[in-house]
Structure 1
Amino acid sequence: MGDIETTDDRLWSRSLQGEGDAFGLLFDRHRDRVFRHAYRLAGDRIDAEDIMSTAFLELWRRREKVRLVERSVLPWLLVTTTNVARNSRRAARRYQGLLKSLPRSEDARHASDIPDTVDRNVALALGTLNATDLRLVSLVVFEEFSLADAAAALGMTAGTAKTRMHRARNRMKATINRAAGPVPAAAVEGERP
């Protein structure tokens, strides 16, 4: 059968040298433990699988910076899993916040009444964004990246991404408000009908 690796540090060294099988053995060795940790944090099997996958992806992506603890990669994975779960929860809250902040028609009482108008208005609003802002909004809102991760993926600072996201959100709101139609003058001026 061959030499059975007993410690992560040997497998990790081989992984760093480009041996995919060694990384696969590390994955096989720790996936159940990382999944259980992700499940405890997320409370949902599908979310836990996504979190676990992201943690192992980060392990590979940041492999040059990973430091083993007591010859094991597991502590690094568990901390990363915790951070990914937090980012996932924050992204879900931001997404829900964005949905709640979008203007809604007063006469739309049921969710089934909303999709056609909202989909058209959202598509129209997204169409007003330049390519960079559209990618940023897509990563943060639809792909649930943290703002910092989206900024890194797009090669910009977190501050720049925050400013661009704020401006994009305002442009989208303005477009959606225009698409919803004019507000009666009496309502704007605070008069009663």
Structure 2
Amino acid sequence: MGIPLDEGASLWQRAIGGDTEAFGALFETHRDRVFGQALRLMRSRHDAEDVTALVFLEAWRRRESVHEVDGSILPWLLVTTNYVAKNAARAMRRHHLAMASIPAPSPTPDFAPDVDDRLDRSEREVAARAGFARLSASDQAVVTLCVIEGLTTAQAAAALGVPSGTVKSRLSRAKRRLAEFLPETAASENALGGA
């Protein structure tokens, strides 16, 4: 059984002229056959999809020099699929050889969990979390926006729908209350205040 080739010369002529819709119609017409050929040549569906995309990219890029057979570009697409697949396979082989020549890195222990545990257990961290939890919801919102996320007071005011002055006073009050909850800060402020 022969492959029907004629897709209409006018459709390809429109594609040559830059008509993307005409080229899209040709893509829809021939994609499955090109993909089938690519799949026969490549090891995976993913690689065959890449080859198919490259073939149609090449067809678009070189559309003025594509050879038609009996009014169809399918034969050109299939031959181009062979070339693109060979080039892709060659590139993959080179990549695998290059990767094989690089020594495997020695495993490095992950110290992040230890650091996280130390930080979570530190007296200051526990006190800061407890202090934050004791703040009012509006003070928590201001601390979150201005201190943790680094927004300006104007940005925080816009986000909260309040005047900038309100954000500044809430932020000042929240910082003062948080300082009371942190043992080191409170101790140093008492020492300075008593001097």
Q: TM-score when scaled to structure 2?
A: 0.49
Structure with greater Cα Rg: 2
Q: TM-score when scaled to structure 1?
A: 0.50
